[in-house]
Amino acid sequence: MMLDPAEVDLEAAPGAKCRLVGAPFTGDGSLIHAISEARPTDFTIALTHAPHAIEDVDPARCDLFLCGHTHGGQIRLPLYGALITLSRHGKKYEAGRYEVGPMTVYVTRGIGCEGGAAPRVRFLCRPEITVIEIVGTRKR
């Protein structure tokens, strides 16, 4: 079942908007479109499965890009990192926090393992549940 991208506007403070935009795994085009419609004054958070669209979105219109898919590589080697990420960007966004222009990107390792024919194992890649606290600033 294909889901449409979700958009939720949250009132952060009088006159300020926090915009939450999401798309399914194969919905990179719809995610890019939804982000392009965000006002530069909105605090926009993108939620999507994979890091594929990171370099396709306008970083001036997206403040926080959250995704997973790579599982941090599941199997990592010291001094090299992930062996395989199954991302169109390879190892560039394998896990953790990145800055793309003014946009913050976080790629979580998640808690599961790749399914299908892939081995159900992690090596030097601890599972994680990430908590991100967003704190605004108050103008007086």
Q: What is the pLDDT of residue 96?
A: 95
Q: Give the residue, 26 or 83, on which the prediction is more confident.
A: 83
Residues 53, 26 contacting (CB under 8 angstroms): no
CA 7, 10, 12, 17 dihedral sign is: positive
The rounded percent of the chain whose pLDDT value lies above 90 is: 45
pTM over 0.85, yes/no:
no
**For 91-113, what is the mean pLDDT?**
94
Q: What is the pLDDT of residue 82?
A: 93
Q: Give the residue, 42 or 105, on which the prediction is more confident.
A: 105
pLDDT at 94 over 90: yes
Report how far residue 118's alpha carbon sits from residue 53's, in angstroms, rounded to the nearest whole number: 24
